[in-house]
Amino acid sequence: MILVTGATGTNGVELISQLAAMGEPCRALVRDPQESAKLLPPDTELFRGDLGDRAALDEAMRGIEKVFLLCPVHPKQVEWEGNVVDAAKAAGVRHLVKFSVIHASPESRSALLRWHAATEDRIRSSGVPFTFLRPNMFMQELLRQADAIRSQGQFYLPLAGAKVSLVDVRDNAAVAAAVLTGRGHEGKTYEITGPAALSFDEVALALAEATGRPIRYVPITMEQFKQAFAAAGAPQWMADVVAELYATFHPANSVVREGVKRATGKEPRTFDSFARENAAAIRPPA
């Protein structure tokens, strides 16, 4: 059986849905089973617990052969992920798949990239067979601004003229599902990107063509971004962490990698197709 942490986030829900479609039994580590049941396939086994509770993790690992480790962004991320690594080792887990981030490095200017790198190092030294998945920025992140796109025909990011090889969450999940259910992935790192690096002006054009209305990308400063993010309810530390991450994007996140094809044998989804599929979500009501 596969244990999935971060099960109710965008990537976790998509992964469990794909595994369920493949007939693979999953156990999801969740804080609220009743609410989680609304998001996950009906056959998902729900286990109440969180990454900060080592005793719960030890119990959750019973009968588990493989673990998908996805942790929400948090100042305690390294500690929490370390709990999973230790519990997986103690339980004799055969394969630990860590959802990381592209360019994770202990030398990064970004705290988030350093946190992911720290956990990768801990996994390497644990002796548990592992695979690292390192995705780029998700296409679905743009849907967080669906209201602004619908009402104003604009979206806002502090990325100036940066180009990013945006990746669809469904491709992240497809890579994870292939690694968790296949063979020969141990010891490998998959950098997961879309098929092309796009400027956000090009992203806006794709959205405009898909919706049949003008849509514009508005570059903002990092300070404006942090203020808006905090005003929307995010804690200040998270606004700072995300802004710090965005500051590393140019030109690093313009790279195009073959992770999706290497793991799944299929080409990654294009942003044009993503825009067409999600046009209704960003088009004003008639």
Instruction: Domain 137-167+193-254+269-286: give its CATH code.
Output: 3.40.50.720
Cross-strand pairs, 99: 133
Cα separation, 4 vs 241, in Å, equals 25
Domain 2-128 listed as CATH 3.40.50.720:
yes
pLDDT at residue 56, as a whole number: 96
Do the Cβ atoms of 39 and 97 come closer than 8 Å? no
Cα separation, 224 vs 220, in Å, equals 6
Tally Cβ neighbours within 10 Å of residue 32: 11
pLDDT at residue 285, as a whole number: 78
pLDDT at residue 159, as a whole number: 97
pLDDT at residue 248, as a whole number: 97
SS (H, E, C) the chain: CEEECCCCCHHHHHHHHHHHHCCCCEEEEECCHHHHCCCCCCCCEEEECCCCCHHHHHHHCCCCCEEEECCCCCCCHHHHHHHHHHHHHHHCCCEEEEECCCCCCCCCCCHHHHHHHHHHHHHHHHCCCEEEEEECCEHHHHHHHHHHHHHHCEEEECCCCCEECCECHHHHHHHHHHHHHCCCCCCCEEEECCCCCEEHHHHHHHHHHHHCCCCEEEECCHHHHHHHHHHCCCCHHHHHHHHHHHCCHHHHCCCCCCHHHHHHCCCCCCHHHHHHHCHHHHCCCC
Do domains 2-128 and 137-167+193-254+269-286 share one topology? The answer is yes
Cα separation, 133 vs 136, in Å, equals 10
- State the amino acid at position 80 in one-letter form: W
Cross-strand pairs, 157: 219
pLDDT at residue 41, as a whole number: 95
What are the domain boundaries of the chain? 2-128, 137-167+193-254+269-286
Helices 111-126 and 236-246 pack at an angle, to 10 degrees, of 90
Give the rounded distance of the alpha carbon of 155 from its chain centre: 21
- pLDDT per residue of the chain (286 residues) written in tens, 0 to 9: 999 999 999 999 999 999 999 999 999 999 999 999 999 999 999 999 999 999 999 999 999 999 999 999 999 999 999 999 999 999 999 999 999 999 999 999 999 999 999 999 999 999 999 999 999 999 999 999 999 999 999 999 999 999 999 999 999 999 999 999 999 999 999 999 999 999 999 999 999 999 999 999 999 999 999 999 999 899 999 999 999 999 999 999 999 999 999 999 999 999 999 999 999 999 987 6
Q: How far apart are the first and last CA of the chain?
A: 47
pLDDT at residue 20, as a whole number: 97
